[in-house]
Structure 1
Amino acid sequence: MYSDILLATGGEAASDRATDHAIQLAAHHDATLHVLYVVDSDVYDAYSGDEYVDEREGPEHGLEEVGEEVVEAVADRARDAGVAVETALRHGRPPETIVEFARETDVDLVVMGTRRRPDEYRSLLGSVTDRVLRLAEMPVTVVKTPVEG
């Protein structure tokens, strides 16, 4: 049913269960797992970076390092489970970049994590997962992380 599955991850706690789910699905369907981390251009574009002389020291570089660590950690877990995996790091606005990557890669399914947030938070900042659900033509599985406490 699935030959290519995309896990879009930011490495946060909400992605942990989604990662497990995506790896299990890929293993069950003998699918390739594509792991994508998007370096949010809005974050580093909004930062003046006046104190940085070398552009490699700015927030963009830090976000790239985090992204590389996140996709490699997921890739290691997938390989340990016997799943074929490909990793990618892209720059842009996360929702649009995730959907664009899914189209380019011709994935059969996108897997994303989410966790409950206050309504005020969502109305002010929105949700990457919510936006991907609205933009994507392909199926999107949302794996919820329960609220602790």
Structure 2
Amino acid sequence: MFTWTMVEIIVASWVCSFSVLCLELPESACAVSLRTVGVISRCPRNKYEYDVASTRKNCSQYNATGCLELHYHCVLNENATGLVEVCAASRFIFSGRCASFSNDVQSIGDSYIRNCTYSNPACPQHYNSTDSYMYAVCYNVVEGHVENNE
């Protein structure tokens, strides 16, 4: 019969506590958004294209789900290797970053891979994620690269 010593119990507890990843979801997180993610090869480049895509995606149909109001987004995937369109809560993007969607966090966020501060034209220091179409420099690098985001 095996018996645990106090040191073995402490070490086992320490290993277990560090092997579990705890992720606090932001207020904008919404599991419904995961059902709306679609891989796309090109994002809208102006307000007219954005409005057409937004109407087609019809994000308002999900607004009675208990989440914050969902809006159309076309942004980088979480690895910045492709583009996705998704219905997600809008939020401010900071520090001249590009916007991205994270499946893990179930929301739009700042891309720590793509910074467009030094691009021409540069992204502003902060902007609403629904205005991402105005900063095509974020998406030019990956446009045309269709990749499964799962």
Q: What TM-score comes out, normalization by structure 1 length?
A: 0.27
Q: TM-score, structure 2 length as denominator?
A: 0.27
In terms of fraction of residues, the more helix-rich structure is 1
